[in-house]
Amino acid sequence: MSIQQNLNKIKASLPINVTLVAVSKTKPVSDLMEAYEAGQHIFGENKIQEMTDKWESMPKDIEWHMIGHVQSNKVKFMSEYVNLVHGVDSIKLLQEINKQAKKHNRTIDCLLQIYIAEEETKFGLDEKELKELLTSNEFKELQNIRIVGLMGMATFTENQSQIEKEFKHLKSIFDNSKSLSIVNCQLSILSMGMSGDYKLAIECGSTMVRIGSSIFGGRN
């Protein structure tokens, strides 16, 4: 099937309140343009340089999401245009995003990454660290970022009940954190679910899914 057919099939299966991020890392601009012309205007990349090259050459009504692990020294290269930074897991990174956003007179939206998997390789905060971060004095000083939601990645396993348990755990943290009244934090997005598990993630309350191979085919 073509990229357009894949997209149409996936979009038809998504509830109206769920946002689709097309994960376009390693894919050529021609593939992204095919998706763009089929109506997909939100793309997720995991390398800042690659995302910046694509941003420079593609239509300016595209929303660019940084979905990879971000190194503080690279933030400046995307701060002019990035729409949403997924996977933020430290006050140090938030301070750098805030500093670079300020230079461009922007407010950059961010998702905080929560550690829900039973794997050492995944990044993220636990529930206690999340609360400590959001209620810290350092966080209150950040006026050029806005925390708009949480994200998390389930364990890479065939065990559906384990994945479901992890997604439900993240949903409960999301629900518990929504009541915190903090100026630069309005939680409305719960980002969980990828090509292999997005339907289960949506059943568990996800409002944003990141799908790559089911749209563009296997990774280059």
The CB density around residue 218, as the number of other CB atoms within 10 Å, is 7
pLDDT of residue 218: 74
pLDDT of residue 21: 98
pLDDT of residue 219: 61
**pLDDT (tens digit, 9 = 90+) per residue, 133-172?**
999 999 999 999 999 999 999 988 899 999 999 999 999 9
* pLDDT lower than 50: segments of the chain: none
The domains of the chain, with CATH numbers, are 3-216 (3.20.20.10)
Dig out the tokens for 119 from the structure.
């794997």
pLDDT of residue 119: 73
The model carries a pTM of: 0.94
**pLDDT (tens digit, 9 = 90+) per residue, 96-114?**
999 999 999 999 999 999 9
pLDDT of residue 26: 94
Q: How far is CA 103 from CA 38, 63, 77, 138, in A?
A: 35, 20, 12, 19
Q: How far apart are CA 182 and CA 205, in angstroms?
A: 23
pLDDT of residue 220: 55
